[in-house]
A and B are shown apart, each in its own frame.
Chain A
Amino acid sequence: ETAVFQTPNYHVTQVGNEVSFNCKQTLGHDTMYWYKQDSKKLLKIMFSYNNKQLIVNETVPRRFSPQSSDKAHLNLRIKSVEPEDSAVYLCASSDRGRTEVFFGKGTRLTVV
């Protein structure tokens, strides 16, 4: 099966903890993304990454960082979570032409 796979599906953690979410795509795409979706379903891009370029949305706090081992994997690390980080984090990938962006099912983060 070719798709975008995210783990975990859910994560509950306390303020100040570090968390890491995994993402793998088997579509052979060269570009991967992380989006944040808030409770109102607003989708905001956080990072875009391929083997040549990392683009960071300037509104993303520094405690967020992408980590990639190869073009099929793009993990998301949050150093010290805060309550406003509670959201669904969606990993996605596309080819260079962006004719279609494929999304994973998302990781729902709850910060208590």
Chain B
Amino acid sequence: SQLAEENSWALSVHEGESVTVNCSYKTSITALQWYRQKSGKGPAQLILIRSNEREKRNGRLRATLDTSSQSSSLSITATRCEDTAVYFCATDGDNYAQGLTFGLGTRVSVFP
């Protein structure tokens, strides 16, 4: 089975600064996804990065994937207070019906 883990429990930054969340996983994947969960809501996808990609961008978000070290990172530049959320990485399993395996989550707090 696969296990995705974020490497930090919580990160705090001030508005305008950058923040990076790291993730490691244990087995081979076809893709890795990053999700964000705001208070009172379900997780929502930010970026999907496939195993043959090294980097993916979505606005202020940048995800990297290193399959040799089985790690990924999500960077947010020019952070805003509304970026405050829990960030998860998620990996897929061999059976499509198994859904995604989510990491432990990293709480990012952006202060004014």
Chain A positions within 8 Å of B, measured between CB atoms, are: 4, 31, 33, 35, 40-43, 45, 48-50, 53, 55, 90, 92, 94, 96-101, 103-106
Contact = CB atoms under 8 A, between A and B. Distances in A.
Interface of B: 31, 33, 37, 40-45, 48, 86, 88, 90, 92, 95-102, 104-105, 107
B106 to A, nearest CB: 9
Given A45-B101, A55-B95, A92 B42 contact: yes
B45 A106 contact: no
A92 B33 CA distance: 15
A50 to B, nearest CB: 6
Contact of A100 (B48, B101, B107): B48
Residue among A42, A90, A101, A103 with the highest chain B CB neighbour number at 10 A = A101
Given A103-B44, A105-B40, A45 B98 contact: yes
Given A98-B92, A100-B33, A105-B40, A45 B45 contact: no
A55 B44 contact: no
